[in-house]
Structure 1
Amino acid sequence: MLTTGNQLKAARALAGLEQKDIAEKAGVNVNTIRNMEAAGAGQIAGRALNVQNVQRVLEQEGIEFLNHGQPGVRLAKPKGEA
C-alpha cells in the first residue's frame, strides 16, 4: 500500500517515470504528485482516491508496495518467474 511521499518517490524512480507521467496516467494534476512526494517520510495527505489511482498506475508499471514494518517498494517479479 502506498503510504509515504518517499515511497512514492522511490516507486517512481524504479519505474523510470516523471511526475507528469504518473499524473497523466492517474488522472491527477502534476501538483498532486508533487504534494504527495513533499510528505517525505510522513503519511501522504489528500484524497484517498488519488492515492489509490497513483498506486494502481505504479503497480501496472511493475512496482510492488511493501509494508513489512516500514514502507518500501520493489520491482515485481515478471509473471511466471519464481
Structure 2
Amino acid sequence: MPLKYLTADQSRAARGLLNWSRVRLAARSNLGEATISDFENGHRIPSPRKLAAMRQAFERAGVVFTAGGPTLSNRSAGEGGVIGTQ
C-alpha cells in the first residue's frame, strides 16, 4: 500500500498514541464511525479518499508515519508520535 494511505494496524496505533476513540477519528476525518470500525476490524477497505482523510486527520494532530516500526518520538506538548508503515 502506498505511504499516502493507511493500514488498519496503523490506524489503531495512531488512535492509541493520540488517545482518540473511533468516534473522534470519524469526526476529525469527516467520516462515519462505521467506516472506521469496519476498516479497523477488517470488514472492508475504505476508498482511497477515505483512507487519505483518516491519515490527514492523524497528521494534522501531529502523528508522523515512517517506514520503521511504531514508536513514540521525543515530543513536546502538542506533538504527535511516530507510526511505522510496516
TM-score range, shorter chain: 0.7 to 0.9
Distance in 1 of aligned mates of 2:73 and 2:31: 23
Return the letter of the residue paired with 1:34.
S
Hey, which of these two has a bigger chunk of strand by percent? Answer: 1
CA contact (8 A) 2:14 2:63 kept: yes
Distance 1:48 1:27, change over 3 A: same
Q: Which residue of 1 aligns with 2:50?
A: 50
Distance in 2 of aligned mates of 1:27 and 1:77: 27
Distance in 1 of aligned mates of 2:60 and 2:74: 10
> Number of matched residues?
73
- Identity over the aligned pairs, expressed in percent? 18
Distance in 2 of aligned mates of 1:53 and 1:24: 11
Q: Which residue of 1 aligns with 2:67?
A: 67
SS at match of 1:65: strand
Q: Give unpaired runs (5+ residues) of structure 2.
A: 80-86
TM-score between both structures, scaled by the size of structure 1 = 0.72
SS at match of 1:3: coil
Of the three residues 19, 23, 27, the one matched with 1:24 is: 27
Deviation at 1:67, TM superposition (A): 2.8
CA contact (8 A) 2:14 2:58 kept: yes
* Higher relative contact order, chain-length normalized (CA < 8 Å, sep 6+): 1
Of the three residues 32, 36, 54, the one matched with 2:39 is: 36
